[in-house]
Amino acid sequence: MAYRWKNDLTWDDVTPEAQFINRRQIMAGAGGLLGAGLIGGAARAQDDPRLALEPNSWEEITTYNNYYEFGTGKSDPANNAHTLTTSPWAIEVDGLVDNPGTYSLEDILSEVEIEERIYRLRCVEQWSMVIPWNGFELADLLNRVGVQDGARYVAFETAMRPEEMPGLRVPVLDWPYKEGLRLDEAMHPLTIMATGIYGRDIPNQNGAPIRLVVPWKYGYKSIKSIVRISLVEDQPTTSWSEYSDREYGFYSNVNPNVDHPRWSQADERRIGGGLFANRLPTLMFNGYEDDVASLYEGMDLEVYH
């Protein structure tokens, strides 16, 4: 049975597909200013002409993205991600599990329930959007491999294929890209493994063929093109925390009360809101506070940011 959460989002709130794919071009047009977006449901283009954006051409829409394994330029992923081989695809599952092994994506998908989840996505750079994902709960996969008692965290790795990913030649981060969750976060029903967007397969530049989506955390926690999942006892290293733990903490929960060292996190604008749209307050845990706040009861969220 699909998880029922307090969802106030509908298809009326979904970021238009063209604007979702083209978000980096919109950001570039803002002259490098951080962020664009409105919180889901707070404002819509049909209610305010300032929020309307003229759709871009297909070439423009698919030119801008951010996936450093394919280059740091905003047009690099669209130009280079076609080199990524996404079929066949397999995920290695290891560590503290009863059934370690390498599982084909085809086999995984044959045993899980794919459903649509319309979620907010909040970037650490202050922009946000609303996206209809297609995927399955990560807990379904973890339950199938059998999590052992000693496991406290789940670690993830992105594919690292220098012959297919030209951006790996530049040491922007310590490759491969790594992320991690506490086990209770990973098992939470809101945490999904996404294989589709808008009812279609995820484009290569957006994390094909399978990626993590954790809607109450900043977007970089939702690691793309996953090839390894490890159940471990100790808190795993994550790429952006390794780069700067002062700026990018392990938890990375959306929190309007804890600023990034270089900018405020108190407000945001949604892609599609226009460059001059009023900024709106960011929601605690990106609007999922009722569902996930209990995970952090008693924790100082300024320390464990």
Of 185, 192, 209, nearest to 140 by C-alpha is 192
Residue 5: predicted pLDDT: 62
pLDDT, tens digit, for every residue of 16-65? 665 555 554 444 444 333 332 322 333 333 443 323 333 222 233 233 36
Phi-psi region of 225 (alpha: psi -120 to 50; beta: other; left: phi over 0): left
Judge whether 63 is annotated as a binding position: no
Residue 46 forms part of a structural domain: yes
**Residue 230 forms part of a structural domain:** yes
Does 137 belong to an annotated binding site?
A: no
The backbone torsions φ and ψ at residue 282, rounded to the nearest 5 degrees and listed phi first, read: -75, 140
Query: Residue 218 annotated as binding?
Result: no
The neighbouring-strand residues paired with 205 are none
- The answer to whether 229 and 223 have CB atoms below 8 angstroms apart is no
Instruction: Give the E-state strand segments of the chain in sequence order.
Output: 90-95, 101-104, 115-122, 127-137, 153-158, 178-182, 192-197, 200-201, 211-213, 226-232, 267-270, 280-281
List, for residues 129-165, the tens digit of each pLDDT value: 777 889 999 999 999 999 999 999 999 999 999 999 9
Cα 140 from chain centroid (whole Å): 19
pLDDT of residue 77: 77
The answer to whether residues 3 and 137 touch, using CB atoms and an 8 Å cutoff, is yes
Ligand-binding site membership of 211 (annotated): yes
Q: Is 255 left (phi over 0), alpha (psi -120 to 50) or beta?
A: beta
Determine contact, residues 39/270, Cβ cutoff 8 Å.
Answer: yes
**CA–CA dist 59, 72 (Å, integer):** 19
**Is residue 137 one of the residues assigned to a domain?**
yes
Say what the pLDDT of residue 16 is.
64
Closest CA to 182 of 251, 248, 132, 267: 251
Tell whether residue 206 is among the known ligand binding residues: yes
Q: Quick one: what percent of the chain has pLDDT higher than 70?
A: 75
Lowest mean pLDDT among 5-19, 65-79, 172-186: 5-19
Per the domain annotation, does 225 fall within a domain?
Answer: yes
303 belongs to a structural domain = no
Residue 57 lies in a domain: yes
Dihedral, 292, 297, 302, 303 alpha carbons, nearest 10: -120
Residues shown for the chain: 305
Task: Specify the CATH number for the domain of residue 258.
Answer: 3.90.420.10
Checking DSSP bridges between strand 127-137 and strand 267-270, what pairing results, if any?
A: parallel
- Say whether 217 counts as a known binding-site residue: no
178 among annotated binding-site residues: no
Say if residue 197 carries a ligand binding annotation: no
In a domain, 301, yes or no: no
- The domain in which residue 84 lies consists of 11-291
Which tokens sit at 6?
Answer: 């307090």
Amino acid at 266: A
pTM for the predicted model, two decimal places:
0.83
User: Any known ligand binding at 68?
Assistant: yes
Number of domains in the chain: 1
Determine if residue 204 is labeled as part of a ligand binding site.
no
Nearest CA among 250, 40, 53 for reference residue 156: 250
Mean pLDDT of 64-69: 71
pLDDT digits (tens, 9 = 90+) for 163-220: 999 999 999 999 999 999 999 999 999 999 999 887 889 889 889 999 999 999 999 9
CA distance 146 to 151: 10
